[in-house]
Structure 1
């Protein structure tokens, strides 16, 4: 009988002890015999590290001295996983719960079709457990935005396996990690998952979302606690992403869109509709730093390491 494939789950955490505990209890109940969990803690001050050591001694905790961001936190976990050895890696948020057969469903998909580079679960809202939050997403390359597939719908019309552009929760093989490289730490948070998935697709591999692999997500539990965090990093990082991956013509078209529509629309939303000068300031700060980052960045080159 063939030995089951080794899976390592990487979970990045920052000051979210209570949701992390619920997440790890969920992973502890997974119906699969050969998996480990690595928790990378980004300098939490709420006792997250001790909680994991006390309640989940079978899991590995990597304690970082400060918050290195989502992308680099995931990289720390991946590097440690590479030292431990694995067949597949699952990248997870700390604010999710999964069904017991999630890994089995994802692994069966990956093992049965070599054209698939990433298999991802169907994501439901934690507070509305029958409503889809994310069935994968597609990239709008003209405006540097993404659209969440089947968002707000029930899963009755969702296919068994759906081809997508990207997903934040993903199962990926050791071989594909080696060929793709790690997450780009320049993003810190937001768009790092899009960037990573684009590189996987550039290898000629598919990314799919599976109906029978399910997670329930407390959306943006960590990042929404910081006013302006979303506005700053989403603005900065979408500009950086376009600089890395778009053609010169498409990049020019994107900049035209920014200056002709996006700035004015954002001013209206934050200043007139929401009456929040702070959010508008964070947007413009992200815009300025995005320009600086694009000026010193180069186009994407295939990973050679």
Structure 2
């Protein structure tokens, strides 16, 4: 695990007498105060006294941290001082939760809204199964709640470069990773295997974490009664920039976990390029190819 060197002092206080509850909900913010405030208020309204919110401002440049503090003065806001990526920002919050004695951390995207009962369902599954290190939720599209985005996560075979994102109920035995947009993690498991790998700036860090967790003997599970509405596609980041991050993370993942990383990466990359060519997205297909080659070369010494 790469440790961050950009951690600024956290500020704000938890409501009540305790610094942290059994569960710390970590909400990562980057230039998205409106979404973050809505998420915070939804988490507060749909959880109980066992849960406290921690907002991690990941190097915002638009004054988000001040806006969030003004709107939610009872919520603690930690500023990293730089954009550490998803893994680095979440880890900053996880370290605070560990220091303050939390039992679980609840990672939830700032563009996600938990439904009534979601928090309790996540916690109940974790409490009932001490061998479970991570619990995922049923993510539904916020703009189309009748359709499931992800049933907790999916199945991935690093030796094949193949993956299936489940959108229907499946046994936990068929789930090899959980989606980080809503993920309850047991601190005991993280203390054993380490936090999110910060070498992934964006994407695949949740898959990597679940692989490490299961190899260490921990289980992952889905709380079927935990529904979370997710506003997919709201980011201002360009599609080609996302392709670059995805390519870099794929290289990192297969180098770490695949017995034949070149083969697995080639299979996945060919699929990505083919999908973009079928949509006549010539520039994005080229971006995937060049970004993958560049990442493979740059990570050769890692």
2:263 is the counterpart of 1:253: yes
Distance of 2:223 and 2:173 partners within structure 1? 7
Residue 39 of structure 2 contacts residue 110 of structure 2 at CA under 8 Å; is this kept in 1?
Answer: yes
Distance of 1:160 and 1:253 partners within structure 2? 29
2:175 corresponds to which residue?
164
Task: Report the CA distance between 1:74 and its aligned residue.
Answer: 0.7
2:292 is the counterpart of 1:287: yes
2:116 is the counterpart of 1:100: yes
Matched position secondary structure for 1:187: coil
Task: Report the CA distance between 1:113 and its aligned residue.
Answer: 1.6
Residue 125 of structure 1 contacts residue 216 of structure 1 at CA under 8 Å; is this kept in 2?
Answer: yes
Alignment partner for residue 280 of structure 2, among 269, 274, 279?
A: 274
Alignment partner for residue 183 of structure 1, among 196, 199, 223?
A: 196
Alignment partner for residue 270 of structure 2, among 262, 268, 272?
A: 262
Give the stretch that moved more between structures: 57-66 or 189-198. Answer: 57-66
Distance of 1:34 and 1:58 partners within structure 2? 15
Distance of 1:101 and 1:257 partners within structure 2? 40
2:234 corresponds to which residue?
221
2:79 corresponds to which residue?
63
2:134 corresponds to which residue?
118
TM-aligned CA distance change 1:163 to 1:254, over 3 Å: closer
Q: Which runs of 5+ in 1 are unaligned?
A: 298-305
Q: What TM-score comes out, normalization by structure 1 length?
A: 0.83
2:3 corresponds to which residue?
none
Distance of 1:271 and 1:160 partners within structure 2? 35
Q: What TM-score comes out, normalization by structure 2 length?
A: 0.84
**Structure 1 segment 28-67 matched on structure 2, within 5 A:** 28-67=44-83
Distance of 1:160 and 1:251 partners within structure 2? 28
Residue 144 of structure 1 contacts residue 238 of structure 1 at CA under 8 Å; is this kept in 2?
Answer: no
Matched position secondary structure for 2:66: helix
Distance of 1:79 and 1:88 partners within structure 2? 12
Q: Which runs of 5+ in 2 are unaligned?
A: 1-19
Distance of 1:293 and 1:23 partners within structure 2? 37
Distance of 2:32 and 2:51 partners within structure 1? 23
Matched position secondary structure for 2:144: coil
Q: Deviations over 1:203-257 (max 9, x none)?
A: 21211111111100011423x632412211112211211110122xx32432553
Residue 36 of structure 2 contacts residue 110 of structure 2 at CA under 8 Å; is this kept in 1?
Answer: yes
2:102 is the counterpart of 1:86: yes
Distance of 1:162 and 1:252 partners within structure 2? 27
Q: Deviations over 1:36-71 (max 9, x none)?
A: 111111222333212210121121111232211111
Task: Report the CA distance between 1:89 and its aligned residue.
Answer: 0.9
Task: Report the CA distance between 1:292 and its aligned residue.
Answer: 2.1
2:207 is the counterpart of 1:194: yes
TM-aligned CA distance change 1:274 to 1:84, over 3 Å: same
Task: Report the CA distance between 1:144 and its aligned residue.
Answer: 2.8
Distance of 1:257 and 1:164 partners within structure 2? 21
Distance of 1:205 and 1:12 partners within structure 2? 26
Task: Report the CA distance between 1:25 and its aligned residue.
Answer: 1.5
Task: Report the CA distance between 1:94 and its aligned residue.
Answer: 0.9
Distance of 2:56 and 2:95 partners within structure 1? 11
Task: Report the CA distance between 1:166 and its aligned residue.
Answer: 1.2
1:147 corresponds to which residue?
164
Distance of 2:79 and 2:238 partners within structure 1? 22
Q: Deviations over 1:279-304 (max 9, x none)?
A: 2443234212321244112xxxxxxx
